[in-house]
């Protein structure tokens, strides 16, 4: 069995390997080869350790190892080791990861990549719209609370002004009473 391409991502204690063979083989053949080479597969809950393009537990693209490979490829990570029979990640358009490269040249992208990007953007748009709606509701609530506080502040400022006027009136009365008391005392002293 001659491989056409091989991707190996080594991350912490795990190693994900993606191999594309020149001919189609059943997963049982690969399992037999792994046993012969003493490769011990590590099961991920919900995913087959050996699978094809469409495994029993969903597509290969949904596998966390595959998604990590795509992430590391787009980050040019040294943790992803790539071997290809022809070309490299940038030139081999038949490569398994080719359509998952991030690029801003949409005219060169495959339909599958464009559909995936569109779906991701639609989901991101929904998430942002929900967040915007939530923030707008919060803003309305805060604006209402602010209006209530502004009204309370205005009421308190009115009370303060009334109290200042009352204080000023009382001071005037106290001054007038002091003046009367002083005048009476002065008048008493003159007549004594």
Residue 62: inside a domain: yes
Of the candidates 6, 18, 16, 50, the one whose C-alpha atom is nearest the C-alpha of residue 31 is 50
Residue 92: inside a domain: yes
Buried b (16+ CB within 10 A) or exposed e, 104-129: eeeeebeeebeeeeeeeeeeeeeeee
Residue 40: inside a domain: yes
Q: State which of 12-26, 84-98, 166-180 shows the largest mean pLDDT.
A: 166-180
What would the pLDDT profile of 51-67 be if each residue is shown by its tens digit?
Answer: 665 555 556 777 788 88
Residue 155: inside a domain: no
Provide the residue range defining the domain that includes 47.
3-101
Query: In total, how many domains does the chain have?
Result: 1
Residue 32: inside a domain: yes
Cα 24 to chain centroid, rounded? 40
Residue 153: inside a domain: no
What would the pLDDT profile of 2-43 be if each residue is shown by its tens digit?
Answer: 778 888 888 887 788 888 877 776 666 777 777 776 666 666
Residue 37: inside a domain: yes
């Amino acid at each position: 069995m001659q491989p056409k391409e091989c991707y190996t991502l080594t991350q912490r204690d795990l190693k994900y390997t993606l191999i594309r063979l020149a001919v189609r083989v059943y997963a049982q053949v690969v399992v037999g080869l792994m046993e012969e080479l003493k490769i011990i597969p590590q099961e991920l809950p919900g995913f087959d350790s050996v699978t094809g393009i469409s495994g029993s537990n969903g597509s290969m693209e949904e596998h966390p190892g595959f998604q990590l490979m795509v992430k590391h490829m787009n980050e040019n990570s040294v943790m992803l080791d790539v071997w290809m029979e022809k070309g490299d990640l940038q030139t081999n358009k038949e490569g398994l990861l080719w359509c998952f490269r991030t690029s801003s040249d949409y005219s060169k992208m495959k339909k599958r990549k464009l559909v995936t990007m569109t779906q991701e953007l639609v989901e991101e748009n929904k998430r942002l719209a929900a967040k915007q709606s939530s923030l707008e509701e919060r803003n309305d609530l805060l604006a209402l609370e602010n209006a209530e506080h502004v009204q309370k502040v205005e009421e308190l400022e009115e009370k303060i002004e009334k109290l200042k006027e009352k204080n000023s009136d009382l001071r005037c009365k106290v001054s007038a009473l002091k003046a009367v008391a002083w005048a009476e005392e002065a008048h008493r002293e003159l007549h004594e």
